[in-house]
Homo-oligomer: A and B are copies of this chain.
Amino acid sequence: MSPVTNGRVLFNAIPEDYPVPGTTTVYDTSETIDLENVPLNGGILIKVLILSVDPYMRGRLRAAEIESYLPAFPLGKPLVGGGIGVVLRSEAAGVEAGAHVRGLLAHQEYVIAPNLVALNLEIIERDPKLHWSVYIGAAGMPGETAFMGWREHSDAKKGEVAYISTGAGPVGSMVIQIAKQDGLKVIASAGSDEKVKFMKEIGADVAFNYKTTDVREVLAKEGPLDIFWDNVGGDQLDAAMEFAAKNARIIECGQISGYNNGPQPMKNPGLIFAKCLHLHGFLVAYLRPKHAAAFRAEFVPRLVSGEFKFTEDVTKGLEKVGDVILAVQKGTNTGKAVVVVAEE
């Protein structure tokens, strides 16, 4: 077989605010790969099937000299993100052709991994009732984020009141359902009426469109809050703190309001001591060792059975990654954003 194109999504320019498809990232077809003969040097040749596009990726589209919890994407190189691929060839012990792997994959059609560990890859199998895409969504990192963050930090008690921002997103929608299972009253917000409808369907007691309804009006009526799950920061966080109960827990999962326009300040941090608030930041990677077994045993089966609902926003074609990244930052996607790179 002759070499084939190995399409790639490259980090091309540091965005000033929102990432611009075709400028911030470009789709490149200049490379080819000989799938049968490319030397693996003991490694694994992977055909990328599906990639996850997540809010946190915006943080990696930055200048290399700015420090953060994940390194910046190098300019001129492919993006990297959660994904699933199928092994085409392998020289690595214990990895057979045909196996599926999940982990951090470059945004390109074919990837050569020196071994599983180097790319945080694991061999996975799927339940026949769930598509592979679910394993980078509700049964993958976003689902883990919701389950593990809640279990570690919520200290949830039956009858308490929780408020969840981005309640229609892949993390927030899972938090809603977990909180309901724990017996809480759940308030949730999102940015469209369609999303509000979905949040009600999955059990939110109070759901509202933050673009058309004043968050403070809702929280004044439905609060005070014992738990706030924050994916937004900025004014949502300020409002939640204003209507927090004494000893409320604020789970800091992310602050998308600050990803594209610079950090959004917290207006009145004095409320932290005045209300005895507890703010917990977390990154899911550090919670996996403690909670992975419970996630598999208690959470994934509820996805398989259909008890927990999820939505996906599927885009076909690696060349669309830039558009999907922007949609996720703007919140115009509906459901977990995944890009299908190839069918098996």
From 163 to 209 in chain A, residues with beta carbon under 8 angstroms from any chain B beta carbon are none
* A270 in contact (CB, < 8 A): yes
One of B263, B276, B281 near A277 (C-beta < 8 A): B281
* A295 in contact (CB, < 8 A): no
Q: How large is the interface on A (under 10, 10 to 19, 20 to 34, 35 or more residues)?
A: 20 to 34
Contact A276 B286 (CB under 8 A): yes
- Complex: A265 Cα to B279 Cα, angstroms: 16
* A237 in contact (CB, < 8 A): yes
Contact A275 B69 (CB under 8 A): yes
Interface string of A258-276 (1 = CB under 8 A from B): 1000011111111111111
Name the B residues within 8 Å of A151 (CB-CB). none
In the assembled complex, how far is the CB of residue A10 from the closest CB belonging to chain B, in whole angstroms?
25
Name the B residues within 8 Å of A273 (CB-CB). 252-255, 281-283
In the assembled complex, how far is the CB of residue A261 from the closest CB belonging to chain B, in whole angstroms?
12
Contact B272 A279 (CB under 8 A): yes
- Complex: A233 Cα to B265 Cα, angstroms: 13
- Complex: A32 Cα to B276 Cα, angstroms: 41
- Complex: A272 Cα to B250 Cα, angstroms: 11
Give the number of times this chain occurs in the complex, counting copies: 2
Name the B residues within 8 Å of A276 (CB-CB). 281-283, 286
From 265 to 315 in chain A, residues with beta carbon under 8 angstroms from any chain B beta carbon are 265-283, 286
> A280 — nearest CB in chain B belongs to which residue?
B278
Name the B residues within 8 Å of A264 (CB-CB). 269
Name the B residues within 8 Å of A281 (CB-CB). 271-278
One of B255, B272, B277 near A270 (C-beta < 8 A): B255
In the assembled complex, how far is the CB of residue A276 from the closest CB belonging to chain B, in whole angstroms?
5
* A68 in contact (CB, < 8 A): yes
Contact B282 A279 (CB under 8 A): no
Tell me which of A233, A252, A267, A275 has the highest count of chain B C-beta atoms within 10 A of its own C-beta. Answer: A252
One of B263, B272, B279 near A267 (C-beta < 8 A): B263
From 241 to 262 in chain A, residues with beta carbon under 8 angstroms from any chain B beta carbon are 252-255, 258
One of B68, B253, B258, B274 near A69 (C-beta < 8 A): B274
4 shortest interchain CB distances as A-B pairs: A272-B281, A265-B265, A273-B281, A266-B266
A interface residues with partner B (beta carbon < 8 Å)? 59, 68-69, 233, 237, 252-255, 258, 263-283, 286
Q: List 29 A-B contacts (CB under 8 A).
A: A69-B275, A233-B269, A252-B272, A252-B273, A255-B269, A255-B273, A258-B268, A258-B269, A263-B267, A263-B269, A263-B270, A264-B269, A265-B268, A265-B269, A266-B266, A266-B269, A272-B279, A272-B280, A273-B282, A274-B283, A276-B281, A276-B282, A276-B283, A277-B281, A278-B278, A278-B279, A278-B280, A278-B281, A279-B279
* Further 14 A-B residue pairs, CB within 8 A, beyond A59-B274, A263-B270, A276-B282: A69-B274, A252-B272, A252-B277, A254-B273, A255-B269, A263-B267, A265-B267, A271-B281, A272-B281, A273-B281, A278-B278, A278-B279, A278-B280, A279-B279
